[in-house]
Structure 1
Amino acid sequence: MAPTFFSFFFCCVVSIYLTLVPFAVANSEGDALYAFKQSLSDPDNVLQSWDATLVSPCTWFHVTCQDNSVTRVDLGNLNLSGHLVPDLGNLHSLQYLELYENNIQGTIPEELGNLQSLISLDLYHNNVSGSIPSSLGNLKNLRFLRLNNNHLTGQIPKSLSTLPNLKVLDVSNNNLCGPIPTSGPFEHIPLDNFENNPRLEGPELLGLVNYDTNCS
């Protein structure tokens, strides 16, 4: 009798655990997105549905989920201002972060390098400043990285040249400096995607210049 009872008890515990885990994940992702909402100014109330009292963010507008995990955040061209928050790095199933054509300011958090499932990061046409985090070189699934038309400074991190799936990189119209990496995906990225960075040197200078660690 005892083994049967304990087997039944164990099955009940496992069943409850498997039921609760998706809600725990959804809650942590909801907390991350709500922290982002709190950092934003939203004059058109496009984030009105982002209610922290709901169990899951999967019912929120501009959020897409799969298997009860957030996979897309689509906030492009919605008249938002504010800044990115490190909490976004907790969206571990996120594949698309679309924030283009807003008025996002501040820096890109290093924590975005935790988004191992990320395929597309679109921050173009904002007012983002600071450097491009080298942690973005951890995003081995990243295919599209569009950071053009911001106020980014510093070097293009060499870690980006290790991204095996990167197809599109656009950092034009910033204030980047130093040479453009020439290996990995950079071999196939058009030079137009680096234009209008007054202190950025092209790959034709390979072997003639060294990375300037003091450029900013």
Structure 2
Amino acid sequence: MATKAFQKIYTKITQITKATCSLKATGVGYDELASVDGKLAQVVKIIGDEVTLQVFSGTEGIRTNAEVVFMGKAPSLKVGDQLAGRFFNAYGEPIDGGPQPEGREVEIGGPSVNPVRRKQPSELIATGIAGIDLNNTLVTGQKIPFFADPDQPFNQVMAMVALRAKSDKIILGGMGMTNDDYLFFKNTFSNAGALDRIVSFINTTEDPSVERILIPDMALCAA
């Protein structure tokens, strides 16, 4: 990562664990992004001038004199119409071979929506599965978590729910998915002609597991 002239470079790391490193720094904020020897990291704790960074890809190979540069901003996403039909990683970067979308840059993890001012979800999403439609009815506008045993066809159910929902956009956040899972959703939505309604944020089993904590905030930011 190229540094700007006004960015201060720190070169004294005081502690390194498997996923985090600590150093003394000033003028940084919570959730701020940083580069540690070229690896992306995020501020997770500040006590006085002692700053702890979570390194997304792990600290293996990082030395105590590694260069640390703070970026001055939290993780963000460029929101706009160009997100439609696209697949992104946990950082909001395209993984489908398409161009980087343009739009208004919005920091993820912002303040929650006031539930009193939020439009009450009321439009039914019919899945055709009696156990869901009768006992755990889904409605447009709500976050829908799926928990299932490994031998259950959860991918097929999720894709069916997304395709049946009568809404402008469907936001899919996948954490720890296999590449086969990712390709299943991409091909299913494409074959159904519904790709322009889908915005997906995917973390696969080949990606660092720590990155998965960004997926829910990316999905909510896009929504």
Question: TM-score, normalised on structure 1?
Answer: 0.24
| Bigger proportion of residues as helix | 1
Question: TM-score, normalised on structure 2?
Answer: 0.24
- Larger Rg computed on CA atoms: 1
| Bigger proportion of residues as strand | 2
